[in-house]
Amino acid sequence: MIPVLKIFQKYQKQNKMVYKIALFNHKGGVSKTTTTFNLGWMLASKGKRVILVDTDPQCNLTGIALKEETEDDETRIENIYNTHSNIKTGLAAAFESQPRAIEAVDCIPIEGQEGLFLLPGHVGFAEYEVTLGIAQELSGSIQTLKNLPGAISDLLEKTANKFNADYILIDMSPSLGAINQNLLMTSDFFLVPTTADFFSVMAIDSLSRILPKWCNWARMASGNPILKEATYPFPEFTLKFLGTIVQNYRIIRGKETAAFQTWIEKIERRVVSQLVPILRDNNLLLPNNVYSNQDINRNFTLTKISNFNSLIALSQQHRTPVYALTPDQLNQKGKVLDNNQAKQEEFKKTFSDLADKIIALSSSYAVSA
């Protein structure tokens, strides 16, 4: 119950619950970015105010949200970067020792969905990795670099307050570096997207080994008096696991192919046998009834999302989720149009159900305080 109270106390002073949800898997190619964009849009369509945060130096999420198709679009994006803050410039006050305090980022409204905003990424964000890593060693450098471990959390919370956000969805890079350690350990919840393949099984094993180390570090950091008294205090450690998402598998005649089904089952078994005990030992699980109330069973699979096929290219082209593409944007006829619109309805239901689970899991946990 103590972690629940910490979450409640953390946001009580602003009279609004703001949940930071990290989408993390250090294996690349598991559709973290696509999931972040589609889930964020769906949450916003349900009346939530959502900030999508691009922390991957590859800036794929920013590319989807602000995709350029013409020279005019390229000029528009250049102007955005010249006139708006981004994840790197927002943190420059701390990481580049500038004579000013961290301020909320002026996020960019995403066209087509009210209440959805983008905190843009920056290729140079990775430049802060080494310095943050030194600061997070909690050794002799801690006095000099004490403001860095809490800086990212401070930026996100100030930005959430400015935009009256309900959710912050963090699209993370596929790495085990200091930035990802910080992002994950200062989030409220995390999701683990996976694909139905051997390497996702390996990633679950690896995550099971790294999480205890990161959790031990986060507990020490949150209890360190130097970091607690810093200009940007390191927050309380309140991280909880929401579940996994299995995606990018093929459907034939309405069912997963045998090969994909085999890997889906292997991932779920590995989650149960390897990951869940680690989550339980490190107090990263919500109360059992919170999961069961959402029909989430012991393998913690929140949803399964099949391959988007041709819809993904159209989605990226029009900066619109696969389920929200209009007939004009699809620009198809006959059976092809009928089939894709049927797939859109499936994806819409899938992401709607996923968003409902996210809302219920986060809000039920807060209410239990």
Contact 131, 97 (CB under 8 A): no
What integer pLDDT is reported at residue 8 of this predicted model? 42
Instruction: Report the C-alpha gap between 41 and 83 in whole angstroms.
Output: 25
Q: Show contacts of 77-82: CB within 8 Å, 24+ apart.
A: 80/108, 80/120, 81/120
- Cα angle 276-41-349, degrees, rounded to a multiple of 5: 70
- Give the contacts of 24 (CB within 8 A, at least 6 positions apart): 32, 172, 180, 183, 184, 190, 191, 192
- Cα angle 104-216-266, degrees, rounded to a multiple of 5: 95
Length of the chain: 369
| Structure token digits, residue 34 | 């696509």
* Per-residue pLDDT at 124 exceeds 90: yes
What integer pLDDT is reported at residue 14 of this predicted model? 46
Contact 332, 340 (CB under 8 A): yes
Longest dimension (CA), the chain: 68
- Answering whether pTM is above 0.95, one says no
In this prediction, residues 241-249 reach a mean pLDDT of 85
Q: For residues 323-338, b (16+ Cβ closer than 10 Å) or e, as one string?
A: bbbeeeebeeeeeeee
Instruction: Report the C-alpha gap between 363 and 70 in whole angstroms.
Output: 42
- Give the contacts of 95 (CB within 8 A, at least 6 positions apart): 128, 131, 132, 148, 151
Contact 25, 194 (CB under 8 A): yes
Chain centroid, CA 160 distance in Å? 15
In this prediction, residues 136-163 reach a mean pLDDT of 91
* Distances, alpha carbon 136 to alpha carbons 131, 157, 218, 229, in Å: 9, 20, 9, 16
Which conformational region is residue 213 in: left (phi greater than 0), alpha (psi within -120 to 50 degrees), or beta? Answer: alpha
Calculate what percentage of the chain has a pLDDT beyond 70: 89
Contact 111, 153 (CB under 8 A): no
Handedness of CA 179, 187, 136, 81 (dihedral sign): positive
Residue predicted with more confidence, 63 or 158: 158
* Per-residue pLDDT at 2 exceeds 90: no
* Per-residue pLDDT at 114 exceeds 90: yes
Q: What is the pLDDT of residues 50-87, one digit of tens each?
A: 999 999 999 999 989 987 555 566 777 888 887 778 99
Q: What is the pLDDT of residues 31-57, one digit of tens each?
A: 899 999 999 999 999 999 999 999 999
What integer pLDDT is reported at residue 159 of this predicted model? 97
Instruction: Report the C-alpha gap between 1 and 96 in whole angstroms.
Output: 39
**CB-side exposure of 121: number of CA atoms within 13 Å?**
23
Task: Set out the domains of the chain in order of their start, with CATH numbers.
Answer: 2-367 (3.40.50.300)
* Per-residue pLDDT at 9 exceeds 50: no
* Per-residue pLDDT at 268 exceeds 80: yes
What integer pLDDT is reported at residue 364 of this predicted model? 80
| Structure token digits, residue 259 | 């090969």
The DSSP output letter for 358 is H
What integer pLDDT is reported at residue 3 of this predicted model? 43
Instruction: Report the C-alpha gap between 250 and 269 in whole angstroms.
Output: 20
How high does pLDDT run on average in the chain?
A: 88
